[in-house]
Amino acid sequence: MKKILFFICLVFSFNSFAYITNDPDDPNIKAVCRDGSYSTSTGRGTCSHHGGVDHYL
């Protein structure tokens, strides 16, 4: 039972990570980076390796 609960928590925790994408149709995009990529993050460090945030959506 503990293994199943651990696996469920692990799966749900991966869904909460922010990521960078080049797909403008990704429904999770919250920011556009200065290099033209898109981010699902809005917190500190958003687009930090992509020239910073150009604008938030």
Structural domain contains residue 40 = yes
Structural domain contains residue 7 = no
Structural domain contains residue 11 = no
Structural domain contains residue 22 = yes
Position 9 pLDDT exceeds 70? no
Position 30 pLDDT exceeds 50? yes
Which of 21, 26, 28, 25 shows the shortest CA–CA distance to 50? 21
Residue 10: the pLDDT is 46
Structural domain contains residue 50 = yes
Per the structure, the count of domains in the chain is 1
User: How far apart, in Å, are the Cα atoms of 9 and each of 18, 28, 29, 41?
Assistant: 17, 21, 24, 21
The chain-wide mean pLDDT, for the chain, equals 82
